[in-house]
Structure 1
Amino acid sequence: MDKIAFLKQYRKSIEFVSDKDLLHIENGKIPGKWLEIFREADKFIQKDKLIALWKSVCEKELSNTISYIKENLVELELIIDNGEYAVLYSIKSEDEEIHYYEGGISTKSVLNDWVAFPEVIKAFYEELHNGFYYFASRAMGLVPFEHVTRFDDYEWGILEELDEPLGINMEKTYGFFQSGMGGYVAIDLDNSMDDTATLWFTNDQPEYNVSFWDVVDEWIVIGMQDN
């Protein structure tokens, strides 16, 4: 199965943006730094510019993710789906298969309390990607704004099974990373200093006071290696 046929299994209207169409994208649709990357004809220079952009935003926080992308990126393409642009990464796994990851175009937040979130999370979404995740499942990564889980909006059966008192404020807790199998890496705005986060599960006990970026970095790489 070719690439576009595979992608269309999950999004019927998805298309690749050609080099010709790239020249005619309306101002403001895509940030200039991304246009510069996609208009670079030399693929080695293009990758260097891509990695430099990632490092400028989250070099410390996602160091393993950046290293894996640098070593295993096969192709970088601009896609469009229902008028929305995104970046498609073709990344080689450890067993030499190609897996597709999607990075939304960076944008300003629509979330309440956005000003209160940790600075690097804000920078990631506003300067790099509105989410970065495995294409097929839209999981195993940082989800786009429209899929961020505000915990108080959901009923969690696990609450009745907790061994210890609940350690987060559900009204101020947001899940930015989803595993696709009931796991979340979440930020409680009442306890978010030093990127403190909670590992939340729909079918297991939560783990409090973990490092948001350490967990996210590890889980993204696991997904890239093993999906």
Structure 2
Amino acid sequence: MDLEHVARFVAAPELIALDDLTMPDRRQLPERRLHALAGDRAWRVSEVLKRWNHFGRPIMSDIYTTITASLADVALLKSRGEWFLLYRMTVADGDDMYYLGGRPVTENDDVPAVWHHFPASLARFYTHLHNGWYYIAGKTVGPLPLREMFRIDAFEWGILDGLSPDEYPDSSRCVATFRSGGGGYLCLHIDRENVRGVWSSDEPPYFVDYSTYLDIWTNVGLGA
């Protein structure tokens, strides 16, 4: 793990060995995460991929395939009191890319209103795998942590000038859950119990299949 590189994007990162965890530390971490890290590199990779198979593949099948082929190592990382899994991915051109996966959501966590509208497979990802999983540069090309999500009506878009409201989704109902790093946002459009995907970029937002776009654009980040 190249911690010097990681430190360019992650505040005060520390790689923590299991033997160095205090009892209060251990109480903050899921038992399944401690189990996954209690072995050599091959064990860690294998155990993390098992979790992805159960809780990542159902909503991001292509990215699961890509991760299976490119995951080189996983380690426990601490940044300003928060715990993460640090993923080192060796991509097709031989370069390493680093991703962070946040601690899964628990019943004791404060969650934003959008959480209660998540599609079931997305909610399982957040509760059993990661509260956010993203490329370390700008928290991009992956599902955002809950606290980083925002309504896209915070933007002022000249691209909507001249369009009638029925020509695009209501931006006040669109919560960005993913950012591409190049101005694209994948959103959940929440209209009472009706929840749909929306893609927003440098053109008027439009409805999409949420899981398909999440899978495609996350894969784009890994060069697949």
- TM bucket normalised to smaller: 0.7 to 0.9
From the superposition, tell whether residues 49 and 23 of structure 1 become closer, same or farther in structure 2 (CA, over 3 Å). Answer: farther
Does 124-133 or 2-11 show the bigger shift? Answer: 2-11
Q: Which residue of 2 aligns with 1:220?
A: 218
Check the 8 A contact 2:176/2:188 in 1, yes or no.
yes
Aligned: 1:5 with 2:14: no
Q: Which residue of 1 aligns with 2:32?
A: 33
Does 55-64 or 134-143 show the bigger shift? Answer: 55-64
Residue 106 of structure 1: SS of its match in structure 2? Answer: coil
Q: Which residue of 2 aligns with 1:92?
A: 90
* Pairwise CA distance, 1:109: 5.4
Letter of the structure 1 residue corresponding to residue 172 of structure 2: E
Q: Which residue of 1 aligns with 2:190?
A: 189
Letter of the structure 2 residue corresponding to residue 151 of structure 1: I
Unaligned stretches of 5+ residues in structure 2: none
Regions of 4+ moved over 4 Å: 161-164
C-alpha separation in 2, matches of 1:71 and 1:214: 20
Q: Which residue of 2 aligns with 1:200?
A: 200
Q: Which residue of 1 aligns with 2:128?
A: 127
CA RMSD of aligned residues (A): 2.3
C-alpha separation in 1, matches of 2:120 and 2:71: 27
Letter of the structure 2 residue corresponding to residue 200 of structure 1: S
Q: Which residue of 1 aligns with 2:16?
A: 17
Letter of the structure 2 residue corresponding to residue 145 of structure 1: L
Query: What percentage of residue pairs aligned between the two structures are identical?
Result: 25
> Structure 1 length normalisation: TM-score?
0.87
C-alpha separation in 2, matches of 1:35 and 1:139: 26
* Superposition map of 1:56-205 within 5 A: 56-107=54-105, 108=109, 110-160=111-161, 162=163, 165-190=166-191, 196-201=196-201, 203-205=202-204
C-alpha separation in 2, matches of 1:12 and 1:58: 26
> Structure 2 length normalisation: TM-score?
0.88
Does 81-90 or 124-133 show the bigger shift? Answer: 124-133
C-alpha separation in 1, matches of 2:26 and 2:90: 33
* Pairwise CA distance, 1:25: 5.1
From the superposition, tell whether residues 166 and 32 of structure 1 become closer, same or farther in structure 2 (CA, over 3 Å). Answer: farther
